[in-house]
Structures are given as C-alpha cells and as structure tokens.
C-alpha cells in the first residue's frame, strides 16, 4: 500500500500525546483493551467465591470433596441443558421448550432402552429426537415473523403434551443398573455425568470461540443487520442454535433419566428457570452478542452452591426460597454495579 | 453580553485525555465555530457545556443567558412519538393536575415549527420523517426553552443542499436575534459563511481562536490536522472497456423505478440527487436488500436478486450509510467487524478458525485503510471515532478484491483527514479495476472523484453526465427536475 505524506499524517492518533502513556500498573484489570477476554467471562466468579466463603463460615463440610462432588452431580443436568440455552441466548433468542425437550429426549431414550436393552441405542434415539425437535422449532423461529418467545412457548406445550400422550402419562422404567450408575459413580469417585458435563463445556466453549459457526452465533446476537449485510446466513444460524439446544436438552434428559432411574414427560419442566437463570446469572446478555460457556458454568455452580448451602443449613423450604432469591439478587447487583462502574471509568 | 464562557476545561476518560485546559467565550449575537478532526475533543466540550459530562477541572458559565440548549448530531428524538410530543418532551404537563393537553401541545409546537420554517405539522410521527425534517424538529425542540445560547452539533451532517441552506438561515436568524451560537461542523463552507470567530481544537487542546476573516480554508485545515493537506482529489485512471455492473429497469416496488445504467471496471460512477430521490434505494436494491424489479448483471452474469449472499458471492461490496446500525459491531472487538466478510479465508476445514491467520488478515486490512484506532483491534467498535468506524466498514470488504463496491454516503460526519484517506482508497480500488458506485450528498466530492455522474430525481434516473459536463449547476438542474 503506497504511503503518501497524507497517509502518514492520518496515522497519527490523538493518543500519541504524552499524558496517555501514564497508565497505572494497577489499571490493567480495568483497561478493556489489555484485559484478556476470559477475565471478562469470569466477572461472576468473585460472587461465587464469596458465597462459598460465607457458607464455609456458616456450616461445616461445604468444601469437602464429597460435598463438592455432590453439588456438581446435582448440577449436571441443568449444566448440560444450559449449554444449549447459552447458544440460543447468545443470538438474542430464548428457548422456553428446553424443559419439555428434556422430557421428550429422556422418554425416547428410556423407551428404546427398555425395549431393546441397549443404552447406546437409547441415547442415540433420545439425542436424535431432541435435535429434530430443536431443528423444527428453530426453523420456524428463524423463518417466520414470530418471536422466539412465542414459538418456543408453543413448542413447550406441544412437545410436553405429545410426550405425555406417547408415554401414556407413565414413568418409563426400569432401566439397567449400569445406566443408573452413570449418575452415581465414575473415575475418581466423580460420577460419569459430571465428567460428561465438563467435557461438553470444554467442547462447547471451544466451538464458540474457535469456529466460524460460534462467531456467527455471536454476530447474529450482537447486531443482526450488520451480520446480514456482511453475508452471514442469519436464518440458518438462528435455526441451528435451537437444534443445538435440542441436542443438549436431550443429553440432559438422558442424564436425568439415569439419575431418576426412569423417564417421565414432565420431569424437565421445573428445570427451565434454573437453566435460563444460570445462563443469565453467569453474565450472558439476554439481548445476545455477549457471553460464553465459562460464564454459564460459573452461573450453574453458583445456583448449585446456593441450593446446597440451604440444605446444609437445614432451612425449611420456604426460608430457602426467600434466601435463594435474596442471594441471587445481591450477586446480580454486585456484578451489575461492577460492570457499570467499569463502563463509567 | 457573554453567553457562554468556558474556562480551563479538562476531562480524561480512563487515562486518555480528551480535553486539556480549553478556554473560550461566545457572546450574544455571534456565531463561534468549533472546528477540529474527529477525536479532537469537540464532542466532549459540547457534552460538558450541555451538562451531560462533568469536567475534571475548569468550569462553564452562561452569564446573562442562564442556560444553554443543544441541537444534537445523532438525532435525540423518540421515533414513535409525534413531532409535538418530541418538541415539548420536557414540558408535557400542561394542566395543573399534571395531565397532558394535546391541543395545547399542538398549538405551542406549531409556533415553534413555523419559526424553523418546517413544511409539516405537529402531528406527524417522527419515524416517518426524513433526516432533514427530523433535524428541524430537533432545532424546534431546542428553541422550546427560549434559549439565549445554543450549541449546534453537526446539524447538517445528514442533510441535502436545500436543507442545509434552510438550517443555516435559521442559525443566521438566531444570531440576528441576539442568541449566542456555538457551531460544531466538519463543513468548512458553513464555518466560513456563518461564524465570526473560529475556535480550532486538536488532540484535546485549543490550537487557535481567531476571527474568521484571518483564516482561509487551507490554513484552517492545516490547523485542524496539524499539517498541510494536499489539495483536491486523488488522480483517477481511465476506466476499462469491460462492463462490471449493468442495471436495467431497476425498481424497488416503492420509491424507485426504471433505473438503467452501466458501470465499467475501474470506473467511479457517482450517484447524485436530493435526499429522498431514491439513491439509497437503488444501492440497496442492487445489493439485494430491497425490491427485485428489473435485471442486474455483474461481469455479464445475471445476479440473483434479493439475496445479499449471492451479491457478495458475485463480488459486490456494500458500504452502508448507517455505519452504527448496519456497518460494524459496536459492542464486539473491531477485529471481528474487520474479518467478518473474509472469515471463510481464515478458516481451516470444518469451520475451525485460524486465529493467527485472522489477526494477520485484520492487521493487513487495518493498514490498507490507515486505521488509527489507538488501542489495537480488541477494543469495541463503539469506542472508535466516526472516521475510524467508517474505515472499518470499508476495510471489511477488502479481504478479496471486490468487483463492484457500492458506497452510500461514505464520508458523512467524518473529518477531513479520514475523508482524504477514503478518497485515496476509492481511487486505488478503481485503478485496480474495481467498479465504484459512489452515493454522496456532498456534490463536490462526487464531481471531484467520479468519471460519470448519474442524477436521481423522484425515484428515476434523470440523466447521466460525463466528467466534462458534470458541473454543480448541471447536477442541480437534473436533481430538481429541470431538463438537461
């Protein structure tokens, strides 16, 4: 590129003025230009640390290996489903059908397992069913001028009704003991379900940050017009995240089936708010374009330790609810105020 | 009768000094122009005077004027409210119990609209108004408080010639009424026409405060940029024989119909016309963002209409007029806005991103457009100046050599230095064989760069002038519906 005298001059940035050089060593954390990306991802981590510290003071046994494994294994289902929810929310969408797809995936898997005896075939069938449902929901949400909230709310009812109908409203059991073991034990005393969640987070985070698809997901959420004009296939990207959400919901449903030793259509419904809550609490923006799986992981662990702490403290369930609400509010405020002051500075 | 006195203002943002010890005054009945490149600190000064920012040191005094009103550049109106509601947004409670009386609002608003010479009523919804009319609403809104001091921030940036003329007459009227006016603009002709004194800022400091009569255009530019600017427009080479873009009977089903023209490889084709004449619609229809009427061929191949991805695959690049909403990601690192179009070229099989290749690509693109972002490529797009944002929007299309590049108002609201860079880039692209379709409200720019100029009038192409015949007068005659 030929550099004319004019070009040279324009390269001069106002920052060349001496005063801007005096960045204090301590300010590197607040300087977004210098802060590594993953640090912004973990803005909720201090809240989690404080929560665990407070719980350690109030009760005994929070930080024992067995309790930590306990929290993780209880969080595994929400954690896995929250991966898919994160991708959807990153595009600025929302998937309310997650809970019902957990039910559909689990029931399909349990049905194939009980009738063929093969866990592998069951898992494959469940995953296929969940992904197919997600693909249909996503295609409708992406192609029709209907907001994802409405499409997925409708899907919630249709899928959950259809699953109940096909399973005759019954719990599908029994499943083999080896399959139940999946949620109870595994290498190093850590259940296979937890190992699975960890591996899936590593894979999903890598896909988000290191593939063109992950980049497109972020871009559709950041500004759909910029993405469209730059040649991103917006409808395909949107449809794909719901398919991915269906995939992960189904995996979560299979893990839940293993934990409950059977599957029913309604088993995933109550988890929806925990799943979306973990994503948002972790710091992924509901407007899309900002967030990551690392954030969601912290959000999942936060909710996991809150509920674990409540039972360690032996609180009655209504007290638990009130305190859970208060803790979530405080954590979200601290994180929100922190981000706000960083932006102001 | 000093109306705005600024004394020793300083302001830093996170260690970066935006304004450094600036002092000046504006008296009642005079227009003072505040000139400087993007990032010189003009907006910070405006925001401190307007009370939006608090200075780190120094103070602002309004003397007899009491307060100040601001006419903003990026429109600060509520698109879904009516004109009357927008103008009187701060004074909506018109009865004692605090309810809104629409009839009273309309009356008051009508008076203000007449003062700014608006040809539309108070009941129009702002969303449906053109940019020029919105600017008039903005001014009427500022006048609602009967201010004795007004700050105008780029009031004409998105307006056509007639509308600019109208705004300047309003400013002159205000001045003659004894109002103190601080006028911020990139248009030097406006500065020289309106202002008595010119305050020039560079890198946050005040570098000159002189009577307008003592300065000429090139001195002022040199003061703003800190160096002598080469005069005029870059040399362009002769277009090639091959036709890059052929448009026949193009329409968008709404505003535009029957538009036909060709652009050769290496040719810069200007598209002039008044605001609302259909220039932007033609550009968007070619790129696949609007209507599908008519035939388009790119390098002899018919173009699949209404499909942006097909247009990009055919080698068309599109630099939007609305860079903040359509051009780049304001809340993602600029690296991602730079690499988005060329992302396929930095991917390994299965869509794995090669981060090293990506950063090589974005560094090359940044160098190609002389991007001067101060803190590298990981800052968010929203933190860049308008000129740098525009360079990013341009650069993202340069990862492959585009066959045709469409630019809609590429220099709107950016400083002279960035403008010169963009002109140089267009000339370089044309020399390399790219066809350039340039839409601009700045006629001087179109006439200075284009080999031929198409003039739009009321949704149709009124005529095409070659460089010899493309004079300001000829273009205006066609644009306003006169015959050749």
What is chain B's Cα-based Rg?
24
| Per-chain mean pLDDT for chain B | 86
Contact between chains at A32 and B327 (C-beta distance less than 8 A): no
Burial of A140 (0-12, 13-18, 19+ CB in 10 A): middle
Using an 8 Å CB-CB cutoff, list chain B residues near A212.
343-344, 347, 351-353
Closest residue of chain B to A343, computed from CA coordinates: B14
Selected residues 187-206 of chain B with any CB under 8 Å from a CB in chain A: 203-204
Torsional sign, CA B265, A230, B281, B134 = negative
Contact between chains at B421 and A233 (C-beta distance less than 8 A): no
Q: What is the pLDDT of residues B456-479, one digit of tens each?
A: 988 899 999 998 888 888 887 888
Selected residues 369-398 of chain B with any CB under 8 Å from a CB in chain A: 370, 372-376, 378-380, 396
* Minimal CA separation from B322 to chain A, in Å: 10
**Which pLDDT score, from 0 to 100, does residue A5 have?**
38
Query: Residues 6 or more apart from A250 whose CB is under 8 A from it?
Result: A101, A102, A104, A105, A106, A108, A109, A126, A127, A128, A129, A130, A131
Contact between chains at A15 and B380 (C-beta distance less than 8 A): no
Chain B interface disruption, residue of A14, A25, A216, A342, most B CBs within 10 A: A14
**Which pLDDT score, from 0 to 100, does residue A147 have?**
92
Place of tokens 């695959």: B313
Torsional sign, CA B126, B129, B135, B139 = negative
> Between B232 and B285, where is the model more confident?
B285
**Which pLDDT score, from 0 to 100, does residue B218 have?**
81
Using an 8 Å CB-CB cutoff, list chain A residues near B11.
none
Using an 8 Å CB-CB cutoff, list chain B residues near A231.
308-309, 312, 340-341
> How many Cβ atoms are within 10 Å of B313's Cβ, its own excluded?
13
Compare CB distances from B16 to A15, A231, A232 and report the shortest one's residue. A15
Contact between chains at B328 and A290 (C-beta distance less than 8 A): no
Contact between chains at A9 and B20 (C-beta distance less than 8 A): no
Q: What is the pLDDT of residues B218-264, one digit of tens each?
A: 888 888 877 655 556 888 888 898 999 999 999 888 888 999 999 99
Burial of B344 (0-12, 13-18, 19+ CB in 10 A): exposed
Place of tokens 């059991």: A173
Mean pLDDT of B427-453: 91
Selected residues 209-248 of chain A with any CB under 8 Å from a CB in chain B: 210-213, 215, 218-219, 222-223, 225-233
Using an 8 Å CB-CB cutoff, list chain B residues near A7.
370, 421, 424
CA atoms within 13 A of residue B57's CA, in its CB half-sphere: 6
**Which pLDDT score, from 0 to 100, does residue A326 have?**
87
Distance, CA of A268 to CA of A159 (rounded, Å): 12
Contact between chains at A17 and B204 (C-beta distance less than 8 A): yes
Chain A interface disruption, residue of B370, B402, B427, B429, most A CBs within 10 A: B370
Confidence tier at B1 by pLDDT (50, 70, 90) = low
Query: Residues 6 or more apart from A122 whose CB is under 8 A from it?
Result: A108, A109, A110, A111, A112, A113, A116, A254
Using an 8 Å CB-CB cutoff, list chain A residues near B351.
211-213
Closest residue of chain B to A25, computed from CA coordinates: B15
Contact between chains at B372 and A213 (C-beta distance less than 8 A): no
For chain B, give the percent of residues with pLDDT over 70: 94
* Minimal CA separation from B474 to chain A, in Å: 32
Compare CB distances from B352 to A1, A211, A225 and report the shortest one's residue. A211
Closest residue of chain A to B421, computed from CA coordinates: A7
Nearest CA to A183 among A192, A175, A174, A172? A192
> How many Cβ atoms are within 10 Å of B466's Cβ, its own excluded?
10
User: pLDDT of chain A along its 345 residues, tens only?
Assistant: 343 433 333 333 333 333 333 334 344 444 443 444 556 677 788 888 998 999 999 888 888 999 999 999 999 999 999 999 999 999 999 999 999 999 999 999 999 999 998 999 999 999 999 999 999 999 999 999 899 999 999 999 999 999 999 999 899 988 888 899 999 988 988 999 999 999 999 999 999 999 999 999 999 999 999 999 999 999 999 999 999 999 999 999 999 999 999 999 999 999 999 999 999 888 888 888 889 999 999 999 999 999 898 888 888 778 888 888 888 888 777 766 766 665 554
SS3 assignment for A201-265: HHHHHHHHHHEHHHHHHHHHHHCHHHHHHCCCCHHHHHHHHHHHHHHHHHHHHHHHHHHHCCECC
**Which pLDDT score, from 0 to 100, does residue A344 have?**
55
- Is 50 exceeded by the pLDDT of residue B168? yes
Burial of A64 (0-12, 13-18, 19+ CB in 10 A): exposed
Mean pLDDT of B156-177: 83
Contact between chains at A33 and B379 (C-beta distance less than 8 A): yes
- Is 90 exceeded by the pLDDT of residue B102? no
**Which pLDDT score, from 0 to 100, does residue A3 have?**
37
Mean pLDDT of B351-360: 90
Selected residues 60-79 of chain A with any CB under 8 Å from a CB in chain B: none
> Between B442 and B287, where is the model more confident?
B287
Q: Is B57 on the interface with A (CB under 8 A)?
A: no
Q: DSSP per residue over B295-330, as a string? A: EEEETTEEPPTT-HHHHHHTTEEEE-S-IIIIIS-T
- Give the number of beta-carbon pairs within 8 Å between A and B: 134
Contact between chains at B331 and A289 (C-beta distance less than 8 A): yes
Using an 8 Å CB-CB cutoff, list chain A residues near B327.
226, 229
């Amino acid at each position: 590129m030929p550099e004319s005298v004019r070009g040279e001059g324009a390269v001069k940035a106002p920052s060349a003025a001496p005063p801007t050089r005096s960045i204090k060593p301590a300010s590197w954390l607040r300087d977004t230009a210098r802060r590594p990306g993953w640090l912004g991802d973990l803005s909720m981590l201090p809240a989690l640390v404080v929560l665990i510290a407070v719980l350690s003071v109030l009760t005994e046994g929070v930080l024992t290996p067995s309790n930590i494994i306990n929290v993780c294994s209880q969080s595994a289902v929400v954690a896995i489903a929250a991966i898919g929810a994160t991708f959807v929310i990153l595009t600025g969408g929302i998937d309310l059908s997650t809970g019902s797809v957990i039910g559909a995936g689990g029931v399909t898997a349990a049905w194939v397992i009980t009738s063929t005896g093969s866990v592998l075939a069951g898992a494959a069938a469940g995953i296929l069913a969940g992904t197919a449902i997600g693909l249909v929901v996503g295609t409708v949400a992406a192609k029709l001028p209907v907001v994802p909230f409405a499409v997925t709310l409708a899907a919630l009812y249709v899928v959950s009704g259809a699953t109940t109908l096909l399973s005759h409203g019954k719990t599908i059991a029994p499943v083999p003991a080896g399959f139940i073991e999946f949620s109870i034990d595994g290498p190093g005393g850590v259940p296979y379900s937890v190992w699975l969640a960890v591996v899936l987070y590593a894979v999903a985070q890598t896909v988000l940050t290191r593939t063109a698809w992950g980049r497109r997901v972020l871009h559709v959420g950041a500004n759909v017009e910029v993405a469209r004009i730059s040649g991103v296939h917006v409808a395909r990207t949107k449809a794909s995240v719901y398919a991915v959400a269906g995939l992960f919901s189904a995996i979560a449903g299979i893990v839940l089936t293993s934990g409950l030793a059977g599957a029913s259509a309604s088993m995933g419904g109550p988890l929806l708010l925990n799943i979306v809550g973990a994503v948002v609490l972790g710091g992924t923006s509901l407007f899309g374009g900002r967030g990551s799986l690392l954030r969601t992981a912290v959000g999942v662990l936060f909710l996991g330790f809150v509920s674990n702490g409540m039972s360690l403290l032996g609180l009655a369930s209504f007290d638990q609810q009130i305190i859970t609400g208060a803790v979530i509010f405080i954590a979200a405020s601290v994180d929100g105020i922190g981000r706000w002051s960083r932006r102001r500075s | 009768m000093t109306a705005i006195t600024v004394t020793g203002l300083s302001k830093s943002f996170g260690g970066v000094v935006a304004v450094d010890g600036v002092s000046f005054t504006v008296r009642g009945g005079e227009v003072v122009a505040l000139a400087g490149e993007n990032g010189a600190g003009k907006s910070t000064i405006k925001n401190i005077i307007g009370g939006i920012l608090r200075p780190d040191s120094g103070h602002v005094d309004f003397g007899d004027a009491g307060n100040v009103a601001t006419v903003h550049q990026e429109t600060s109106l509520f698109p879904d409210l009516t004109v009357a509601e927008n103008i009187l947004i701060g004074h909506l409670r018109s009865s004692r119990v605090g309810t809104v009386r629409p009839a009273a609002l309309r009356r008051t608003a009508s008076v203000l609209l007449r003062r700014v010479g608006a040809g539309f009523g108070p009941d129009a919804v702002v969303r449906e108004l053109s940019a020029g009319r919105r600017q008039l609403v903005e001014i009427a809104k500022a006048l609602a408080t009967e201010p004795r001091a007004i700050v105008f921030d780029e009031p004409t940036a998105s307006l056509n010639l007639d509308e600019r003329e109208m705004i300047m007459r309003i400013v002159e009227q205000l001045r003659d009424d004894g109002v103190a006016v601080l006028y911020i603009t990139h248009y030097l002709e406006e500065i020289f026409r309106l202002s008595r004194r010119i305050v020039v800022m560079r890198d946050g400091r005040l570098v000159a405060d002189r009577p307008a009569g003592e300065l000429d255009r090139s001195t002022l530019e040199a003061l703003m940029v800190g160096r002598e600017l080469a005069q005029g427009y870059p040399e362009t080479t002769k277009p090639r024989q091959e036709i890059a873009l052929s448009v026949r009977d193009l329409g968008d089903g709404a505003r535009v119909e029957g538009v036909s023209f060709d652009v050769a490889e290496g040719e810069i084709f200007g598209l002039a016309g008044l605001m609302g004449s259909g220039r932007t619609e033609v550009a968007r229809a070619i790129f696949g963002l609007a209507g599908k009427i008519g035939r388009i061929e790119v390098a002899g191949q018919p173009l699949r209409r209404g499909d942006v991805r097909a247009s990009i695959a055919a080698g068309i690049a599109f630099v939007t007029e609305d860079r903040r909403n359509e051009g780049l990601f304001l809340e993602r690192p600029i690296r991602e806005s730079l690499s988005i179009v060329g992302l396929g070229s930095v991917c390994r099989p299965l869509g794995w991103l090669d981060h090293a290749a990506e950063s090589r690509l974005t560094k090359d693109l940044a160098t190609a457009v002389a991007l001067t972002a101060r803190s590298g490529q990981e800052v968010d797009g929203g933190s860049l100046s308008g000129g740098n944002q525009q360079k990013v929007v341009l650069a993202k299309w340069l990862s492959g050599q585009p066959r045709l590049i469409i630019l809609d108002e590429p220099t709107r609201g950016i400083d002279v230095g960035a403008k010169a860079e963009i002109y140089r880039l267009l000339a370089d692209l044309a020399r390399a064989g790219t066809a350039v379709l340039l839409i601009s409200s700045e006629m001087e720019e179109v006439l200075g760069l284009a080999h031929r100029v198409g003039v739009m009038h009321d949704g149709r192409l009124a005529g095409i002038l070659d460089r010899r015949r493309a004079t300001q007068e000829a273009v205006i005659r066609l644009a306003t519906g006169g015959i050749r």
